[in-house]
Amino acid sequence: MATPSPIPAGISKEQAFSMAQTEMEYRVELFNKLAQTCFRKCVDNRYKEAELNMGDNSCIDRCVSKYWQVNGMVGQLLSVGKPPM
């Protein structure tokens, strides 16, 4: 039995590699922006303690959750071709 190709029909290996590379770059950029945004918002610049406290952890958890939620909403809007609100 033949194994199905992971590359969609009509796309060359080079195109698939380029698409995967672009997707990886997007994911890395998204993660970096998320980390920077939530760190700036939630962690005190004075570093009073060596560990994050409960308030910092809670803020970061909420920030990451909201960031992913908004990212998903924007992705859905873009995928159906609707302009953002």
pLDDT tens-place values along the chain, 85 residues long: 556 667 777 778 888 889 889 999 999 999 999 999 999 999 888 777 888 889 999 999 999 999 999 999 988 888 887 655 5
What is the structure's pLDDT at 65? 96
Alpha helices in the chain (DSSP H): 13-42, 54-79
Q: Whole-structure pTM over 0.75, yes or no?
A: no
CB-CB neighbours of 38 under 10 Å:
20
Which tokens sit at 24?
């990886």
| 21, burial (CB in 10 Å: exposed 0-12, middle 13-18, buried 19+) | exposed
